[in-house]
Amino acid sequence: MTGWLKLALIVAIVVGVAKGIQLFNRHCRRRFGHTFFTTRGFWIAAIAINLLWWGFYFWGTAYIHHTTMSDGIVLMLFGVAVVTWLLYENIRDTDLIHGIGGSTLQLVLFLPLALYSFPLLILGMVFILVASYKAGPALLIDR
C-alpha cells in the first residue's frame, strides 16, 4: 500500500508544479502582457545552457586532453552573457521578481530539452549535408 501512496504523492507533486507554472505564466501574461515559455525564449535558454554546459565540459577536461582551459572559460563567459541577456529581456518586460523567477523557470525547465536536442540537431544537420551532397544541380532536375 505504501508504494501506491508514494506514486500518488509523486503524481500530485508533478501535477501541482505543472499547474503552478501554468498559473505563473498566465498571471504574467495578464499583468504584464509577457509570456515566458515561447519559442524565442526556448532558443535563448537553449543557447545559454549549451554554451555553459560545453564550456564547463571543455574547462573540466582540458587537463586530461592537454589543452588550454581558456577555451572552456570563453564558452562559459558567452553562456553567462546570454543568460544575462535573457534576464534583461524578462526583467524589462515584467518586473524584477517576476523576471528573475521566470528566467529561472525557463533555464530549469528547458535544461533537459536543450541538452538532449543539441546532439539531435547536429545529427540532423549532418544527415541533411550528406543527403544533399550527391544531389545534382537544379538545372538538370528542371529539364
Q: What is the pLDDT of residues 36-50, one digit of tens each?
A: 988 899 889 999 999
Q: Does 58 reside within a domain?
A: yes
Q: Does 141 reside within a domain?
A: no
pLDDT in tens, 86-95: 999 999 999 9
Going from the C-alpha of 116 to that of each of 103, 111, 122, the distances in angstroms are 20, 9, 11
H or E stretch covering 62: helix 62-65
Provide the number of structural domains found in the chain: 1
Q: Does 16 reside within a domain?
A: no
Q: Does 82 reside within a domain?
A: yes
Domain extent, residue 99, equals 37-120
Q: Does 55 reside within a domain?
A: yes
Cell numbers given for 17: 508544479
Q: What is the pTM of this model?
A: 0.75
Q: Does 7 reside within a domain?
A: no
